[in-house]
Structure 1
Amino acid sequence: MTAETALPGPDPVVPGPRRLPGLGNLPAFARDPLAFFVRLRDRGDLVEWRLGPQRALFVSRPEHIGELLKGVETVFRHPELGWAFKLVLGDGVVTSEGPVWRRKRALVQPAVRPRQVRSYAGTMADCAAALADAWRPGQRIDVRREMLALTQRIAVRTLFGAETAGLEEVIGSAMDVAQRAIGAEFRGLTLFLPPWVPTPGRRRLRRAVEVIDAEVGRVTEERRRTGEERDDLLGRLLAARDEEGRPLSDKELRDEAVTLYIGGHETTGTTLTWAWYLLSRNPGARARLGRELAEVLGGRTPRLDDLRLLPYTEQVAKETLRLYPPVWLMTGIAKEGSTLGGLPLSEGTVVWSSQWSAHRDPRWFPDPGAFRPERWDAGAEPSVPDHAWFPFGGGARACLGARFAMVEAVLVLATLAQRFHVDLDPGEVAPRTGLTLQPGSPMPATLRNVEQDISEPRLTRAQE
């Protein structure tokens, strides 16, 4: 539910919080980036601050956010997000820019178009159904661990195919190290250290990336050696050709495979974790979700064609992405002659926006901290301005895997929620910023059977 909304004119640029010589606002940002962004938002729509020596501008209005998202590659340069981020993702479609980015986007995009996502949907639902078959009423689980293991399995199988024994655990462990290193670097002084400066975290990251490179290289080489053609993401990347008929090199294949893996595993697993957290604390929403799933599915495993019949399930996913967006900030660097909201920007100014603070802005989302999936009902009022909700970014550099992620989240949620309530232990869980917005503490829960209000007995996956 988005609509073009007439908004008042922009506020003038206002100064941010008091800053320290040389460090600027880095200490406050590092202590709690999310709270820091909310404070900037509440100061005004255009707020000047400094991240170390860098001059920065924080934007909060949807039309300014839209200018930033749409202007990357034209008005704004894509930013460098640190040595750790670059080491993990390489020169993939997320980190490259200019002609290199346009070539890679053209090569990768066909692999995640809606038509191709349809072929992956069965794997998503089948993996979720296998997990539901393994769960037992009364069982104690760590929600985040279960969801990351599930989305890891889905990511590996849709990316590399079904014959991936051992790959899930090896790559998963290395990626856990990688995302922690990226988060730690981004929040600290190491962001400004040159790559040749060794730190314990950087040494751990190098070892993790060596594991990732070796495993992806091994699977790619085996596929090349056998010449086997498979209808998975790796197969589509291997078959891709640019306008001059050139394939992706081994290094490019590695970079795009890792990028797709992170998008299909870490971000969706984190979204599902937060969804269970919110449903556990909102029994009314959980009951409405259960009624929809019972009426539409009647105990069977959902398929892609069921998505249009599960609007509330999708709204649960969208509201989760509003409150706990996996990607929690976006940046761009002003080019010469750049403007924002009609105001000229000095070349090199880093423009920031945050999904966390924008998605919780009471101007666009009344009672912003409340979990209300019905916000996303068709025709609900008030309407949400364009770019007030942007969990997948926007413009030309919007996340290529957005459709994949939404389909996966809805299918997994539908498969599991129709059979189990996930009752999390009491207590609030604060988010922790890293590569994605993760729970800052474990999420233990107890599984409980859902009471099925249907006359037919529930089918097991094997009986379908």
Structure 2
Amino acid sequence: MTSTLAPATGTTPTARGPRGLPLLGNLPAFARDPLAFFCRLRDEYGDWVPWALGPRKAVFASRPEDVGELMAQVEISFSPAELGWAFRHVLGDGVVTSTGPDWRRKRALVQPSVRPRQVRSYAATMVECADATASGWSDGRAVDVAQEMTALTQRIAVRTLFGVETAGREQVIADAMAVAQQEIGAEFRGVTVFLPPWIPTRGRRRLRTAVATLDSEIERIIAEHHEAAADGRERDDLLSRLLAARDESGQPLSERELRDECITLYIGGHETTSTTLAWAWHLLSGSPGARARLDAELATVLEGRLPTFDDYARLPFTQAIVKESLRLYPPIWLITAVARPGATIGGRPVAEGTTVWTSQWSVHRDPRLFPAPDAFRPERWDEDAADPIPDHAWFPFGGGQRTCLGTRFALVEAALVLAVLAQRWRVETEPGEIKPFPGLTLQPSRPIRAVLRAGAAS
């Protein structure tokens, strides 16, 4: 499909952008509300907008064609941007943050563990965990939907990725991740993003404590796997595959590299999906038509039984709900890359060292690409929809060589979990707007309170 946008704007050196402050540039406006700031750049200045994050030269791109080209050129004419000390301290040097030959080596080691064949083997665990959650709910119970989805996807993550249970440590891990979310968002949106790592701040101290907790849990899990391998016990989980993986020279991942990949995959396999499901329940609660169509599809396809991996392809509207939730509330909400010498986008030269930004939030809510962009309309994903979605207008998992390795895992998990729970329960959330908080992922800024109502299959 091809975008129907008008020709690109801002293609010459005279492209306009927002006026900034000395030294700070547009940082104050960005820090107040980065999501609104990006939409304002798009609406007031065009599709190619120069701006400044402090002293750093930047351009904001909105056209799907430019977005697609940017993602395709990372590791070629662009380098991944450094997103601050807090981001790096949490993810380390995993496949998301590494670059160049180091990134290619790690991607080659990690990718086989999340290929479609492996995702198929994880589907039964996804369904089993979701069914256990459904069995533990009770009619009329008041819940925080985000907390419920966090607990569920965390259980799925530790079982599929690490082959273990968290043995009552769920809340400890969840609290540590919440601190990481908050501090990454706070640093990214404030002047501390420019401070060298050795300068202590209250937020950095909190983050160090949270990361120490996460590291302790990951180290315990890795130690258990080493012990099992030493005893000759085979385990069929992602970490076991990482432990067995070897690069072209026959070298395994180091202990530190294992830690970084475990954290990266844990966040990708848990944080993004739990957030997507939380938003999906809130959106469904306010859309009785979509809920009725979901119920009809589940009744026709599943006839009261639990879904399997093979049912994923037979549940197109369930998939559409997930896709539309990802459109409205993309967990990963921005992509940045730094121009190398000779870089161009859409035929425009981009000066070396310039950071090109794009935002899933802004592009996904562009009225030129999505009619009624703020409305929850899963039917826009129907094969015969009147307004086909242009290429690169929807990119919740990024794109190009550096697209998220866990994309298939996340989409299958979200759809199967939604199918299991929706067969037995209606989640009636409190009406009203819930603003997102842009941290490491796009999280609800307050609890999504709901009442559980038993369905026909309960």
TM-score by length of 1: 0.95
Q: Deviations over 1:18-64 (max 9, x none)?
A: 21111000000000001000001112010000000011000000000
Length, aligned pairs only: 451
Q: Could you tell me how far apart the structure 1 residues matched to 2:251 and 2:367 are? A: 50
Give 1:258's aligned residue: 263
TM-aligned CA deviation for residue 167 of structure 1: 4.1
Give 2:25's aligned residue: 24
Give 1:56's aligned residue: 58
Q: Given the alignment of the two structures, is residue 147 of structure 1 paired with residue 149 of structure 2, yes or no?
A: yes
Report SS of the residue matched to 1:265. Answer: helix
Q: Could you tell me how far apart the structure 2 residues matched to 1:32 and 1:164 are? A: 36
Report SS of the residue matched to 1:331. Answer: strand
**Are the counterparts in 2 of residues 159 and 234 from structure 1 also a CA contact under 8 Å?**
yes
Q: Deviations over 1:108-134 (max 9, x none)?
A: 000100000011111111111001001
Give 1:342's aligned residue: 347
Amino acid at match of 1:10: A
Range 20-29 or range 202-211, more displaced: 202-211
**Are the counterparts in 1 of residues 304 and 423 from structure 2 also a CA contact under 8 Å?**
yes
Amino acid at match of 1:316: I
Q: Could you tell me how far apart the structure 1 residues matched to 2:91 and 2:273 are? A: 18
Q: Could you tell me how far apart the structure 1 residues matched to 2:280 and 2:103 are? A: 33
Amino acid at match of 1:64: D
Amino acid at match of 1:9: P
Q: Given the alignment of the two structures, is residue 11 of structure 1 paired with residue 1 of structure 2, yes or no?
A: no
Give 1:72's aligned residue: 74
Report SS of the residue matched to 1:15. Answer: coil
Give 2:140's aligned residue: 138
Q: Deviations over 1:106-165 (max 9, x none)?
A: 000001000000111111111110010011111111111101111111111112113441
Q: Could you tell me how far apart the structure 2 residues matched to 1:280 and 1:218 are? A: 40
Q: Given the alignment of the two structures, is residue 388 of structure 1 paired with residue 386 of structure 2, yes or no?
A: no
Give 1:368's aligned residue: 373
Give 1:204's aligned residue: 206
TM-aligned CA deviation for residue 298 of structure 1: 2.0
2:320 maps to which of 315, 332, 345: 315
**Are the counterparts in 1 of residues 146 and 274 from structure 2 also a CA contact under 8 Å?**
yes
TM-aligned CA deviation for residue 169 of structure 1: 3.3
TM-aligned CA deviation for residue 426 of structure 1: 2.0
Amino acid at match of 1:4: T
Give 2:292's aligned residue: 287
Q: Could you tell me how far apart the structure 1 residues matched to 2:96 and 2:36 are? A: 26
Q: Given the alignment of the two structures, is residue 230 of structure 1 paired with residue 260 of structure 2, yes or no?
A: no
**Are the counterparts in 1 of residues 94 and 106 from structure 2 also a CA contact under 8 Å?**
yes
Give 2:41's aligned residue: 40
TM-aligned CA deviation for residue 255 of structure 1: 0.3
1:189 maps to which of 177, 188, 191: 191
Amino acid at match of 1:225: E
Range 201-210 or range 98-107, more displaced: 201-210
Q: Could you tell me how far apart the structure 1 residues matched to 2:339 and 2:25 are? A: 19
Range 295-304 or range 361-370, more displaced: 295-304
Give 2:113's aligned residue: 111
Amino acid at match of 2:69: E
Q: Could you tell me how far apart the structure 1 residues matched to 2:143 and 2:171 are? A: 18
**Are the counterparts in 2 of residues 156 and 167 from structure 1 also a CA contact under 8 Å?**
no
TM-aligned CA deviation for residue 385 of structure 1: 1.1
**Are the counterparts in 2 of residues 299 and 419 from structure 1 also a CA contact under 8 Å?**
no
**Are the counterparts in 1 of residues 155 and 166 from structure 2 also a CA contact under 8 Å?**
no
Report SS of the residue matched to 2:97. Answer: coil
TM-aligned CA deviation for residue 6 of structure 1: 6.0
Range 102-111 or range 163-172, more displaced: 163-172
**Are the counterparts in 1 of residues 60 and 357 from structure 2 also a CA contact under 8 Å?**
yes
Q: Could you tell me how far apart the structure 2 residues matched to 1:298 and 1:8 are? A: 47
**Are the counterparts in 1 of residues 10 and 16 from structure 2 also a CA contact under 8 Å?**
no
Report SS of the residue matched to 2:69. Answer: helix
Q: Could you tell me how far apart the structure 2 residues matched to 1:195 and 1:258 are? A: 21
Q: Could you tell me how far apart the structure 2 residues matched to 1:274 and 1:226 are? A: 39
Q: Could you tell me how far apart the structure 2 residues matched to 1:172 and 1:235 are? A: 24
TM-aligned CA deviation for residue 79 of structure 1: 0.7
Amino acid at match of 1:36: F
Give 2:409's aligned residue: 404
Amino acid at match of 1:62: P
Range 339-348 or range 158-167, more displaced: 158-167
TM-aligned CA deviation for residue 171 of structure 1: 2.6
Q: Could you tell me how far apart the structure 2 residues matched to 1:172 and 1:237 are? A: 24
Give 1:156's aligned residue: 158
1:90 maps to which of 89, 92, 117: 92
Range 290-299 or range 190-199, more displaced: 290-299
What are structure 1's unaligned runs of at least 5 residues?
453-457
Q: Deviations over 1:349-369 (max 9, x none)?
A: 000000001001111111111
Task: Quote the sequence identity (%).
Answer: 65
TM-aligned CA deviation for residue 315 of structure 1: 0.3
Q: Could you tell me how far apart the structure 2 residues matched to 1:178 and 1:164 are? A: 19
**Are the counterparts in 1 of residues 158 and 165 from structure 2 also a CA contact under 8 Å?**
no
**Are the counterparts in 1 of residues 123 and 308 from structure 2 also a CA contact under 8 Å?**
yes
Report SS of the residue matched to 1:92. Answer: coil
**Are the counterparts in 2 of residues 264 and 404 from structure 1 also a CA contact under 8 Å?**
yes
1:436 maps to which of 431, 436, 441: 441
Computed over aligned residues only, the root mean square deviation of the Cα atoms, in angstroms, reads: 1.2
Q: Could you tell me how far apart the structure 2 residues matched to 1:163 and 1:181 are? A: 27
TM-score by length of 2: 0.96
Q: Could you tell me how far apart the structure 1 residues matched to 2:71 and 2:168 are? A: 39
**Are the counterparts in 1 of residues 75 and 100 from structure 2 also a CA contact under 8 Å?**
yes
Q: Deviations over 1:80-109 (max 9, x none)?
A: 011011011000000000000000000000
Q: Deviations over 1:372-430 (max 9, x none)?
A: 11111113222111110000000000000000000010001001111111001122111
**Are the counterparts in 2 of residues 23 and 53 from structure 1 also a CA contact under 8 Å?**
yes
Q: Given the alignment of the two structures, is residue 357 of structure 1 paired with residue 362 of structure 2, yes or no?
A: yes
Give 1:455's aligned residue: none
